[in-house]
């Protein structure tokens, strides 16, 4: 059984590689407050189909490089199409 995780694509700048953040919430060990943590996974995307902001499901695989240990399984939800750069350009022009 291979592990599968769901996370958000943070970067798709490299060729056939995605950087995916896995968000998690857990109680603090001493104080019990709910805190947020994240795990960064480098994912192999052979067909380069995912983009920044997409919600993706990844599956563990053999090591492909020094940091890549995950493969893209499927895109759960595509991003809404508005990028951060485009949104900031609209605000700056006003």
The pTM for the full model equals 0.77
Q: What is the pLDDT of residue 90?
A: 52
Residues of the domain holding 19: 4-93
Indicate the number of domains in the chain.
1
Instruction: Report pLDDT digits (tens) over 52-91.
Output: 999 999 999 999 999 999 999 999 999 886 555 555 555 5
Q: What is the CATH number for 10?
A: 2.40.50.140
Task: Give yes or no for a contact between 3 and 59, defined as CB atoms under 8 angstroms apart.
Answer: yes
Measure the CA–CA gap between 66 and 42, rounded to whole angstroms. 10
Question: Beta strand 55-60 with 34-44: parallel, antiparallel or unpaired?
Answer: unpaired
| DSSP state at residue 67 | S
Beta strands in the chain (DSSP E): 4-11, 17-27, 34-44, 55-60, 68-77
Closest CA to 20 of 47, 60, 62: 60
């Amino acid at each position: 059984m291979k592990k599968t995780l769901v996370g958000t694509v943070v970067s798709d700048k490299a060729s056939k590689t995605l950087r995916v953040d896995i968000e998690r919430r857990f109680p603090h060990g001493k104080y019990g407050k709910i805190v947020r943590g994240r795990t960064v996974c480098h994912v192999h995307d052979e067909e380069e189909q995912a983009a920044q902001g997409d919600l993706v499901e990844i599956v563990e695989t053999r090591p492909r490089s020094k940091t890549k240990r995950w493969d893209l399984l499927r895109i759960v939800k595509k991003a809404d199409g508005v990028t951060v750069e485009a949104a900031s350009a609209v605000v700056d022009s006003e």
